[in-house]
Amino acid sequence: MTLDGKTQVYGILGYPVKHSLSPVFQNKAFEHFSINAVYVPFEVKPEEFETAFRGLKALGIKGVNITLPHKEKALELSDFIDSHAQAIGSANTLKITEEGVYAYNTDWVGFLKAVKKLTPQLRNLKVLVLGAGGSARAVLYALRFEKAEVFLWNRTEERARRLCEEFGCFHIKRPEDVLEEVELIVNTTSLGLKEEDPHIFDYKKLNPRHRVMDIIYKDTPLLKSARERGCLYQDGLDMLLYQGMESFKIWTGYDVPYEVVKSSVLEYLNAI
């Protein structure tokens, strides 16, 4: 990679952000198309986000991804908002032009492209979604778009109820209450990121009929149990890659091949 005065700058804003794999595959995408650009992580504390946001245009930065905990604030501060981002209530992709900042949400597209590898047909499918944070909003929006029947569980019941009113799903008090009904289970919580995290429900109740997706991109206890019980399962890496590929297309107009970004991440992970 050669950096010079014409190098365009892109990046990701989050807190924390050091763990992000986005720089790995976004830089590979720029290299694939011989675009003179670089993608870097910007670790921005919540209290400093608005200052950082205002500085993006002044610094000539062309586009950024937004990750936790800034997605809702990014939407609020943007000049132009895509209809999907507006409906979801958060932005994960910003394109910065002379006219202003354009906000998009590609998480929902990334989720759909990834989950359809597990279950191509989502219409009328009974789905259990775990969690009610920003990622859950994108997942719920995608599932409503596909006309799935969704049950939502969250530790904070009131938050789950509000999301159910907004996205037309059914609030449940315990995941176990619907395990016999649902075919797809999607974990959008951070539980499982650490091995010592408590289980969300009794994973022994999974059976081969279930398909399980965890948006965390590692082998979580939920996914280990799914594998042991003969379920089809998927971690969050494909969702990450597909949402990033959509962001790349918004910024550049190019469709980066899936194999290019996937191989770059696997190579990186194998080296660390």
Per the domain annotation, does 243 fall within a domain?
no
Q: Place 140 in a pLDDT band, splitting at 50, 70 and 90.
A: very high
pLDDT score for 100: 96
Residue 1 pLDDT exceeds 80? no
Residue linked to tokens 């993006």 = 56
pLDDT score for 172: 97
Q: CB-hemisphere CA count at 13 Å for 1?
A: 19
Residue 196 pLDDT exceeds 90? no
CA distance 263 to 160: 37
Q: Does 34 lie in the same domain as 144?
A: no
Please report the sign of the dihedral spanned by the C-alpha atoms of residue 15, residue 189, residue 147, residue 242. positive
CA distance 107 to 87: 13
Is 77 in contact with 27 (CB distance < 8 Å)?
Answer: no
Per the domain annotation, does 68 fall within a domain?
yes
pLDDT score for 187: 97
Per the domain annotation, does 135 fall within a domain?
yes
Is 152 in contact with 178 (CB distance < 8 Å)?
Answer: no
Q: Does 131 lie in the same domain as 119?
A: yes
Residue 193 pLDDT exceeds 90? no
Q: How many CB atoms lie within 10 A of CB 140?
A: 27
pLDDT score for 25: 98
* Number of independent structural domains in the chain: 2
Interval 52-98: pLDDT, tens: 999 999 999 999 999 989 999 999 999 999 999 999 999 999 999 99
Interval 96-105: pLDDT, tens: 999 999 999 9
Average pLDDT over residues 175-194: 94
* Integer CA distances (angstroms), 74 to 118, 155, 160, 185, in order: 31, 26, 23, 29
pLDDT score for 195: 83
- Residue 211, strand partner residues: 184, 232
pLDDT score for 194: 84
Polymer length in residues for the chain: 272
Q: Does 133 lie in the same domain as 16?
A: no
Whole-model pTM: value is 0.94
Q: How many CB atoms lie within 10 A of CB 262?
A: 15
Residue 133 pLDDT exceeds 90? no
Residue 146 pLDDT exceeds 90? yes
Average pLDDT over residues 178-207: 94
The parent domain of residue 99 ranges over 8-105
Is 102 in contact with 109 (CB distance < 8 Å)?
Answer: no
Q: Does 219 lie in the same domain as 140?
A: yes
DSSP-assigned letters across all residues of 110-164? HHHHHHTTT-S--TT-EEEEE--SHHHHHHHHHHHHTT-EEEEE-SSHHHHHHHH
Is 211 in contact with 185 (CB distance < 8 Å)?
Answer: yes
71 is a catalytic site residue: yes
Domain boundary among 79, 105, 131: 105
Per the domain annotation, does 37 fall within a domain?
yes
pLDDT score for 2: 83
List, in order, residues 6 or more apart from 208 with CB less than 8 Å away. Answer: 229, 230, 231
Q: Does 60 lie in the same domain as 22?
A: yes
Domain boundary among 62, 87, 105: 105
Q: Does 230 lie in the same domain as 114?
A: yes
Per the domain annotation, does 183 fall within a domain?
yes
pLDDT score for 95: 98
Residue 222 pLDDT exceeds 90? yes
Q: Does 118 lie in the same domain as 84?
A: no
pLDDT score for 214: 97
Catalytic pick from 71, 113, 116, 249? 71
Average pLDDT over residues 204-211: 97
229: Cα separation from own chain's centroid: 26
- Residue 66, strand partner residues: 13
